[in-house]
Amino acid sequence: MRRSPSAADFAAQRADMVEWQLRRRGIRDQSVLNAMAAVPRELFVPERYRKRAYADSALPIGHGQTISQPWIVAAICEALALEGSERVLEVGTGSGYSAAVLAMLAAEVITIERIEELAIAARQLLAELGITNVEVVVADGSAGFPDRAPYEAIAVHATAPSPPRTLIRQLAPGGRLVIPIASDGADMLTVFRRLEGKLDPMTGEGLQRTVIGPCRFVPLVGSEGYPE
């Protein structure tokens, strides 16, 4: 029987992942590369997929959900343009992996998951790793989390039919929302930046929109997403 990979094997795979999947594919933000080189992705993957933790793909995490491909996590984090002082809202905790990466890039992360079992497992793992600046909330995140708004950055890890207006309203002036938006056939990873001054989420006034590229995500299920 082949032995299971050791922590050192995983560390080597992680370094290769950062080099081949991220840096050589255009991720430039050094703080994002450092964070992805530090977070042990293998711990966020179910036991039976652990050997594939650093594969260039999404992997199942149960409940019909997935942990995103490493490149996608990096692309989202880079698009958020974090400097370290921000309060970040994340929608779609899933395994907690991207929350652990964001925790290294921002001051405070509030992450929302609608499936309670996933949220509980993520909360426990983040605590075991000594990550103290992430709060895991069980709720419908399609309408954001107004209690702690505004946010300098919002990351959504599930595809919305259109940009959720409530989320846009929770952006601080200058804040960035990164979200996959459904557009005939493909999901388009999109950045909405709130400009200083007047904001009208209905017309898009006061918002700057930049498309990063096609991607594939699970649907955002909720009041400003898709029905159950």
Active site (catalytic) residues? 68
All residues at 6 or more sequence positions from 109 whose CB lies less than 8 Å from its CB, including other chains? 87, 88, 89, 90, 99, 102, 103, 133, 134, 135
The residue (of 124 and 208) whose beta carbon lies closer to ligand SAH is: 124
45, 51, 60 from 48: Cα distances, Å? 8, 8, 10
Residue type, 197: G
Q: Which has the closest alpha carbon to 135: 90, 168, 82?
A: 90
Tell me whether residue 113 or residue 152 sits nearer to ligand SAH (CB atom).
Answer: 113
Residue ranges that bind ligand SAH, judged by CB under 6 A: 65-68, 91-92, 94-95, 97-98, 112-115, 118, 140-142, 157-158, 218, 220-222, 225
Q: How far is the CB of 1 from ligand SAH (least distance, A)?
A: 29
Instruction: Determine the residue type at 186.
Output: A
User: Which one, 41 or 87, has the nearer CB to ligand SAH?
Assistant: 41
| Residue 69: CB minimum distance to ligand SAH, A | 10
> Which of the 8 DSSP states describes residue 160?
B
Q: Rounded to the nearest whole angstrom, what is the least distance from the CB of residue 64 to ligand SAH in the complex?
A: 8
